[in-house]
Every structure is written in C-alpha cells, then in structure tokens.
Structure 1
Amino acid sequence: MQPFGHTVTDTEIRALFSAARGWEARYKELIKLAKQLPPLADADKTEANAIHGCESQAWLLSKQDEEGCWQLHCDSDARIVKGLMAVVLAALNNKTAPEIQAFDIEAYFSELQLFNHLSPSRGNGLRAVVSAIKQSCQP
C-alpha cells in the first residue's frame, strides 16, 4: 500500500523544499503533493480511522507488512492538510516502529521551513497526525 504508487522519501521532500524559494513556493509544493496523494475509500473514512486534534476531517490507515515495516495512508478534506500529510508520509511510511518512534518530526518540519508559516491550530493538527501515526505503530 504505497499511497503515492511509489516511495517518496524524506530525502526527496527535503530536496524539493530546499529548492522552493519562499513560502508561496513551498505552499505550491504542498498543494502538488496533496493532489498526488490518493484519497481513502469512503468506507475507510470512519470514526475508527479518524485523527482527533485536527480542525479538518482527517483519517489514518496503518498496516504492518511481512518485513515489519508500516504502510501508512492518510487523507483529509482540507487540501493543505493533505499536502502536509504527504510530507509526513514521505518521512514515516515504510519504516519500522522503532524508526517511526525515533523520527524527529519537529526538526524535519523546521528544516523544511513549514512550521513558522502554519497557524497554531494547523501546527497542532499536524502534530496530532504524527501522534496518531506513532500511536498506531507501536513496537
């Protein structure tokens, strides 16, 4: 279950965002990433899959594969949130539980220069997404 149809890594995201000059360019990249992330099936948009702490509606599916890596798929009804989710998935998808637990998402988003442009509620929502992923992928 690769949400992009292929693996997009945090290294590729870092390169994409370091090449983007200014917030407007980063925002456009988030929108492009949101469009690449396929929607969840309506049947998966359930309370059991809901991510709480996000102002918009958001959902997470997580499944561990035979190698012990987690396959993650997120969706949201808000385009910018979906783009932020794509950035999170690039960093955390197809990783083991210890790798997911150890990943410093705050440093990642600081490096991408995203947190300083997000409203406090959107930043908290993003942290809720990461928290939901870490909770669902316990070792």
Structure 2
Amino acid sequence: MTDRVDFIVNYPIGAGTGLDGDFIRTLLGQSTSWDERYRQLLQLTRKVPALPLEWRQTELEVSGCESRVWLLPYRDNNGIYHFVADSESRIVKSLLITLLAVANHQPADKIQQIQVASYFAELGLAQHITPSRTNGLQAVWKKMSDFCALSA
C-alpha cells in the first residue's frame, strides 16, 4: 500500500474506529447547550491527524465550500469506501469529522442510505450551520456519493 492509501484506509473516523456516528450522537446528546456542542465539535479536530500538506492538492479540493476543503476517496478490493476530508477551518473540519463518522469505512449501500440533512438535524446542528457551510457540506457529500456511484 502506498502511504496515501494507508493513511486513507486507516483514518480514525467512521465504522470500526470508535469515532463513529454512535459516538457523535452520544457526545452531542450529552451537551446541554449550543456552546457546549460547539466546544465538543472543535475538540474532535484534535482527535484526528491533519491531511499532510503535500496531499492538499488542487485536484482534491471540493468546489462550493467557503473554506478550503480537501477530500481523498478510496475504494478497497472488498468494496469498502474510505475517505479523508480536511479543511483549514477548525469548525468546518469538525463538521467533516461528524459527516465521516457515519459514512467512512462503509460499503456503498450503507453510504447511500445516509440522509445527511436528517443526521445533522438529529444532532441539533442543522439550525446552527450557516447556509454557506451547509452548501459546502452538501458539495462534499455529493462528491463522496458520486465517487461511490462511479467506482462501484
């Protein structure tokens, strides 16, 4: 495996990592206010490695995001999809972590069942995310979904 593929496949967010959707639901469900949720989200960024600078290439950037966002997709030989997403903005990175928590290290059929808007509403985040960040998250989600459809 190349270093990049190894980094993507072993990225510590998603199914089987402990930092999955159930963890996020529990973490944010215990928060009693938006300020506390916001703090919890920002702390998530310390739990995952940053994308190495040499992989922050233009062709990996997701257009439609207010802040710069990079997405590295990979499909392994077993049909499992792996993603790394990163941003220069800590809050955007925390929202990307929240998204990857439910979608990463999964087969395409599970990924396609995810309703991103419902998930963010369930977490109590939807009403706090600016329209430009919502558009950016939708752009990332579309790119992930398109990758699943094209590489299946």
State the TM-score, normalized to the length of structure 2.
0.86
Selected match of 1:4 from 3, 12, 15: 12
Q: Which letter does structure 2 place at the counterpart of 1:4?
A: P
Are residues 1:72 and 2:83 paired?
yes
Counterpart of 2:3 in structure 1 is: none
Whole-angstrom distance in 2 between the partners of 1:46 and 1:12 = 31
Indicate the larger mover: 59-68 or 108-117.
59-68
For structure 2, list consecutive stretches of 5 or more residues without a partner in the other structure. 1-8
| Superposed displacement of residue 135, structure 1 | 1.4
Counterpart of 1:49 in structure 2 is: 60
Selected match of 2:130 from 104, 110, 119: 119
| Superposed displacement of residue 4, structure 1 | 2.1
Q: Which letter does structure 1 place at the counterpart of 2:119?
A: Y
Whole-angstrom distance in 1 between the partners of 2:11 and 2:45 = 11
Q: Which letter does structure 2 place at the counterpart of 1:25?
A: E
Q: Percent identity?
A: 35
* Stretches of 4+ aligned residues off by more than 4 angstroms: none
For structure 1, list consecutive stretches of 5 or more residues without a partner in the other structure. none
Counterpart of 1:84 in structure 2 is: 95
Counterpart of 1:35 in structure 2 is: 46
Whole-angstrom distance in 2 between the partners of 1:99 and 1:73 = 18
State the TM-score, normalized to the length of structure 1.
0.93
Are residues 1:128 and 2:136 paired?
no
Are residues 1:61 and 2:72 paired?
yes
Whole-angstrom distance in 2 between the partners of 1:13 and 1:60 = 21
Equivalent residue pairs, number: 139
| Superposed displacement of residue 100, structure 1 | 1.1
Indicate the larger mover: 53-62 or 27-36.
27-36
| Superposed displacement of residue 66, structure 1 | 2.5
Whole-angstrom distance in 2 between the partners of 1:29 and 1:110 = 17
Checking the alignment, whether the CA contact within 8 Å between 1:51 and 1:129 is kept in structure 2 is: yes
Q: Which letter does structure 2 place at the counterpart of 1:134?
A: S
